[in-house]
Structure 1
Amino acid sequence: MKIDLTETTSSKINQALVSGRRAIGTPAIGMVLTLVIVTDEENAYDALKAASDSSREHPSRIIAVIKRVSRSPRSRRDARLDAEVRVGSDSGTGETVVLRLHGELANHAQSVVLPLLLPDAPVVVWWPQDAPADPAKDPLGALAQRRITDTYSAARPLDELAVRGATYSPGDTDLAWTRITPWRSMLAAALDQQAAEVVAASVEGESDNPSCELLAMWLADRLGVPVERTQSNGPGLTAVRMETRNGTVTLHRPDGSLATLSMEGQPDRGVALKRRETAELLAEELRRLDPDNTYASAVKFGTDKLAGPEAPAAGSGEKPPAATPAATPAATAAAAKKTAAKKAASK
């Protein structure tokens, strides 16, 4: 069931939610949290679909905040709120409110969202793209216990990752971190089978994939060994190699689906490491609402402490790979500060 409201208010939206539930015969509220999505028209459909799919595991009230850009000075002065209320089969297992904020109202989204939050339920805010430099200090982010960003969607993912580390607050998380959960689990299980100490490691993947940097920083932080960041054509993260005193442990995924785990003295084994959809990543993050201390330690470690890719041998005929922020710490830090300043100025 869908209810369209034009030039409305938060009070009328709440009344529409109650009327919609009664119309479909489910007046009781059985939702466990409020998920606020801050997006634009271009990405709204994909974000809402992912949230709706994840609601099958976490029934929730989904509030999509879409700020409409006003072209003329006069329309920018006018404040208007349009809304679309979805209940029943049109909203997964919860209910959805799509808010379109026009004019000056777009700068005060928190005043519209606050009356729509479920009482006595956790609040999660998700920015599929264009996240603020400091999510915890954002007016909408301040309402939430958990704040989800995605550095992979940024124009300069590695600079964005540096900003995330500099502005981290308890409750922040990143879907780039969620993407490597199966990798971290598999590598930890492999080390449980190896009694030997790890002396060095390397992470191989696409040059602008922040998940690769996060995995490398996690290994360096946890193992206390040098970790080299090397590049490949992808897709995504392609290989991790850990040098131990008993030999090399390798987890190699060349096709983005099936990986091979190789360990000294053991036969190679196939491991399912399929690249997951956004709905699966979101559902994983909604399972925990407490601060992720492991992510905090990894993202604060810093890409400047990782070793960059090695240049090819002379006479090989290959061009050296382009330098990445991991190999140029000064450039990364400067770009991170510049990005944070720009985002702060645009608020």
Structure 2
Amino acid sequence: MRYLWALCWLAGAALLLTLGAVDYEAGTIRDDPLGLLQLGSGLLACLVALAGPGLGRITLPLVAVLPAISMVVATVLTALEAERRPPLTFAATVALCWLIALITWRGQRVLAAITVPILVAAVVLQPLLPSTSGITVIVALALALVLVVSIAAGLAARLVGISRERQAAAIRLAQRAEFARDLHDYVGHHVTGIVLLAQGARAMAEKKPELVVPALERIEQAGTEAMATMRRMVGLLREADVGADFSPPATIEDISRLVTEFGPAATLELDGEFDGMPAELQSTVHRIVMEALTNVRKHSDGTPAVRVSRSGQWVQVRVADDGRTRHAGRGGFGLRGLAERVAAVGGSIKAGPGAAGGWVVEASLPAGGH
């Protein structure tokens, strides 16, 4: 994406340079003080247009208004001299049209609403103010049509961005609602174990008091695990999904079913001992594999190879396919929500093209326990 932006920037710079040469050859800008003012306004507009993509949503409209005001001043001064022709400069006009689209797309809303009309006036008044002949009116109407297209393009880009932000927010909310369901199951599991241990300790208190202390130690361990689970997940929850239908959390063993459902060509390799691993980590591993297999089914014609291994205090998850991408979209909102979930349990995840082709999803998670 950075290379694409660099190519677009170079193309824009070449275009403005070419239009500047056209302005020079056409004699649009003269070498008197008023001509120098027009030249300075045009150069400022081109510089701001080239720097625009790197400016912030507040800085952009504030800076862009400077060449617009300068061009309006130059146009008004030209209108006072009847013998001069309209100062329509091609480079500055194209630069302002780009700035209008860019501000409509990325500018802060209030500042954009103030700045865009000033930029429009700077463009339309160039041919219209010094002379109101038929040809200048036609040129002004043509420029107005171009500006409408620029504003429409900027608004379309802004609406697409808003739509993507809302979609990403919906994904995050759904993910957090799922965290709430999982949290219900995890805590319920731990609390049930604590209650059973406490009942057993009370029953043994009279007959075998020497077993009470070990039972209390197990209760303490279960309570510590429950608190750790809550600390890892509660921070991500914003709204409770009270009407949810709670289901048991997925485990490492459930991954084999995912691979089987994908098809006979998919392979699964489990390496290591996964007993005793916290339930939320097992569920996260299951979710990583499920999301990766879903992406393979949607975006690739290859077959996946799934490997889950545990070494020491870490669990490594790798899902790779050998296919060719059918269409774009491999880094969608599902992986973004998954990255948030992985980070919540202290792990990391990355996805991208494999060295030998295909697509690879790799994650590292702290195993805990042993």
Tell whether the structures are fold-level matches, with TM greater than 0.5: no
Structure ranking higher in strand proportion: 1
| TM-score calculated relative to the size of structure 1 | 0.21
Greater helix share, 1 or 2? 2
TM-score (normalised: structure 2): 0.20
Higher relative contact order (CA 8 A, sep 6+): 1
